[in-house]
Amino acid sequence: MILAAVAVLLGIGLLAVAADQFVLGAARVALIRRLSPLLVGVVIIGFGTSSPELLVSASAALGGSPEVAVGNIVGSNIANLTMILGVGALIVPVVVASSTVKREAPAAVLATLAFAVLVQRGLVWWEGVILIGALLVVLVGLARTGRAATDPLAAESAELADVARHDLRVEAARTLLGLVGTVVGAQLLLWGALDIAERADLGEGFVGSTLVAIGTSLPELVTVVQSARRRETDLIVGNLLGSNLFNALGVGGVVGLIGMPRLEDPALSTVGVTAAVVVSCVALVAMVTGRTVRRAEGAALVVAYVALLPFLA
């Protein structure tokens, strides 16, 4: 048990550092090679912050642990719009004023809903193709309707690279090492979490939606804290919605391509996926109406996340 706990802690720490370096290096390489800042912001940053979820869920599905694979997706999406958004709001009130959020918020809700419906009978290859195809459609739509000058993710990507200051070879090495570190961290986290689940007689779905999900959500948490300190609140909401979109469609699609049987954990297939959809809808309503997530609401979101945990057990 001690060795498994150490593996979990090492895996979480490695994910937090390596995934951040992977995103940073990949964004700089792409910008140095003169790719569109909007493309870099939406695709590389969005995909990069979801790379821990992708690697852990894919490894779990390949290893015959579908509850961990799905629990990680569901738990990460719940954590993003409760605990992590709440932490950001506790640092500084999060103002929602970006036109990008108006597009990403409904897309994230629909993506979560689509994943929740398809996962009820397990995921097969053609459902994985549907999810990945839907992700590509959304990305094309964002690219066509977004403007690099006003899109917060594009603005963030533009700050990451300066051709005169950053060397292509150095950033390529950073990207490669970050990817390797993310893979190793994901494997350590997965092995440790599964061992703890077995020894403590915990359900794999519960461990996947809590311990594993929190570990893989650390890149989003780091990004949110940094953005909150800089008072770039548009980036907070944009990153979290983008991450949920990639988790539901991209990570869910990859799990479907691998193939996953019907879930045996009723708490995950009913309460878990329903909670993910409800949290997304509540977040959408809050963004459309109040337009600001205040500190008191941030505290309520963190409490709501903690209150949900027993129902996933």
Q: What is the greatest pairwise CA distance in the chain? A: 55
Q: Which domain holds residue 123?
A: 2-312
Picking from 13-22, 145-154, 269-278, which range would have the lowest pLDDT averaged per residue? Answer: 145-154
The span from the CA of 212 to the CA of 12, in Å, is 9
Asked if the model's pLDDT at residue 146 lies above 60, the reply is: no
In the predicted structure, residue 148 carries a pLDDT above the cut 50: no
Of residues 239, 291, 311, 298, the one with CA closest to residue 74: 311
Beta bridge pairs of residue 123: 260
**What residue type is 101 in one-letter code?**
V
Which CATH number covers residue 87?
A: 1.20.1420.30
CB-count exposure of residue 54 (10 Å: 0-12, 13-18, 19+): buried
Q: Look at residue 285 and tell me whether its pLDDT is greater than 60.
A: yes
Per-residue pLDDT at 286 exceeds 80: no
pLDDT digits (tens, 9 = 90+) for 118-137: 998 888 899 999 999 999 99
pLDDT tops 70 at residue 38: no
Please count the other Cβ atoms lying within 10 Å of the Cβ belonging to residue 94: 29
Looking at residue 115, what is its pLDDT? 95
Q: What type of residue sits at position 161?
A: A
Amino acid at 193: A
* pLDDT of 246 higher than 80: yes
pTM: 0.84
φ/ψ of residue 149, rounded to 5: -75, -25
In angstroms, rounded to a whole number, what is the distance separating the alpha carbons of residues 39 and 58? 25
Q: Does residue 227 register a pLDDT over 50?
A: yes
Tell me what the pLDDT averaged over the chain comes to: 82
Structural domains counted in the chain: 1
